[in-house]
């Protein structure tokens, strides 16, 4: 097990040998981190979160209280499928709201935001706001988390964040930050 400098672990949190936890991470109480998990620098994992084999969190990911991750699509107690764990990848700066469920094999894009209670069954694009069950893109958010005024079906639109001034543009089926 690797714990980065400045990482804080709250009580009743179990971290398995082989897990890789970056610097400046906070692991909330009653958590579990499996042997094959990778947690990047600056992540915040709130209370009651279990990170199973196959979960990868890049830097600065926020995982809300009681978020659920899976690692097998069709589990059966009588037929263990440890050889079929699927990777779940959460990109840098993303936020997972309280009590959401992230189905294995999905990717949550950079700086995306998944709403509380959502059920993610397909990939979430970068800077998307995904809500509902199953989760669907309902808008776009800035790196700082503020909503952007870009419509879901826009093909040629841009926006500037009212809070921090960053600029964004529609690219393909998603939104990208415009370099300034």
Which residue spans within 60-162 are E strands per DSSP?
62-63, 68-69, 88-90, 95-96, 101-102, 107-108, 113-114, 119-120, 128-131, 136-141, 147-148, 158-160
Instruction: Pull the structure tokens for residue 45.
Output: 């994992």
Q: What is the pLDDT of residues 133-155, one digit of tens each?
A: 999 999 999 999 999 988 777 77
Q: What is the mean pLDDT of the chain?
A: 94
| pLDDT for residue 125 is more than 80 | yes
Between residues 117 and 169, the one the model is more confident about: 117
Between residues 75 and 128, the one the model is more confident about: 128
What integer pLDDT is reported at residue 11 of this predicted model? 94
What integer pLDDT is reported at residue 113 of this predicted model? 98
| 79: CB partners within 8 A, 6+ apart | none
Segment 163-180 shows an average pLDDT of 87
First to last CA, the chain: 40
Q: What percent of the chain has pLDDT over 70?
A: 99
Q: What superfamily would CATH give domain 2-141?
A: Hexapeptide repeat proteins (2.160.10.10)
| Beta pairing class for 50-51 and 32-33 | parallel
Dihedral (CA of 175, 133, 74, 57) sign: positive
What integer pLDDT is reported at residue 180 of this predicted model? 63
Model confidence pTM above 0.85: yes
CB 105 within 8 A of CB 122: no
Q: What is the pLDDT of residues 25-44, one digit of tens each?
A: 999 999 999 999 999 999 99
Nearest to 100 by CA among 86, 84, 113: 113
Break the chain into its structural domains and give their ranges.
2-141, 150-180
């Amino acid at each position: 097990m690797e714990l980065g400098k400045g990482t804080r672990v709250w009580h009743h949190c179990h971290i398995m040998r082989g897990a890789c936890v970056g610097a400046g991470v906070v692991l909330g109480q009653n958590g579990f981190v499996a042997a094959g998990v990778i947690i990047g620098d600056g992540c915040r994992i709130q209370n009651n979160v279990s990170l199973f084999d196959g979960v990868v969190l890049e830097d600065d990911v926020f995982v809300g209280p009681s978020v659920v991750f899976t690692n097998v699509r069709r589990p059966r107690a009588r037929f263990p499928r440890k050889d079929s764990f699927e990777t779940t990848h959460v990109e840098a700066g993303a936020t997972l709201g309280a009590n959401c469920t992230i189905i294995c094999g999905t990717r949550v894009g950079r700086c995306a935001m998944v709403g509380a209670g959502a059920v993610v069954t397909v990939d979430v694009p970068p800077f998307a706001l995904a809500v509902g069950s199953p989760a669907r893109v309902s808008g776009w958010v800035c790196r700082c988390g503020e909503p952007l005024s870009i419509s879901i079906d826009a093909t040629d639109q841009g926006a500037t964040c009212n809070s921090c001034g960053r600029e964004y543009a529609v690219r393909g089926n998603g939104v990208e930050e415009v370099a300034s």
